[in-house]
Amino acid sequence: MPINKLLLTKSQGYEDSAAVFMALVRGSDRELILQADLTSITFTVTDTSDDSNPVSSDTLTIASVILDTPVTDDVAWLEAFPGDTTGYNFIFEAPKTWFPEPDTTYRVEFIFRPTTGENYEFAVVFEHTTKSLKVS
């Protein structure tokens, strides 16, 4: 199935640390995606310097990551997007095992598969760069 839409976002964090990914996801009709609009969400995490060997890949539970009512009052979201009143409807906390190396960029791809009747998939992609932890 072809990818119809791609949303790319850059983020950064520390090596060997969890990361939270948030996005506002819309369907082909430009309406916000609801849980019932999807049949599956899969992900793949790769180190961009060697994308032939994924760090992790699996399927997510739709009800755990898609919010039918967007969150508009999250402090982290408001700091990243000042003045935004729409919020986010996708949130996922990636475990620290996905980002083991410092000074590395990881590509985290979430592939959304719509319910029957749609003939495309769409992706939300994060390029997550890690920094070294300083130990005193």
- Give me the amino acid identity at 70: P
What whole-number distance in Å separates Cα of residue 102 and Cα of residue 33? 34
pLDDT by residue (tens digit) across 55-92? 999 999 999 999 999 999 999 888 888 888 899 999 99
Q: Is the pLDDT of residue 136 over 50?
A: no
pLDDT by residue (tens digit) across 81-120? 888 889 999 999 999 999 999 999 999 999 999 986 666 7
- CB of 128 within 8 A of CB of 48? no
Q: What are the residue ranges spanned by the domains of the chain?
A: 3-131
| Backbone phi and psi for residue 2, each to the nearest 5 degrees, phi listed first | -75, 155
What is the pTM (predicted TM-score) of this model?
A: 0.88
What whole-number distance in Å separates Cα of residue 51 and Cα of residue 108? 11
> What confidence category does residue 128 fall into, taking pLDDT thresholds of 50, 70 and 90?
very high
Q: Could you tell me the fold of the domain covering 3-131?
A: Immunoglobulin-like (2.60.40)
123: left (phi over 0), alpha (psi -120 to 50) or beta: beta
pLDDT by residue (tens digit) across 13-59? 999 999 999 999 988 778 899 999 999 999 999 999 987 889 999 99
Residue 50 pLDDT: 86
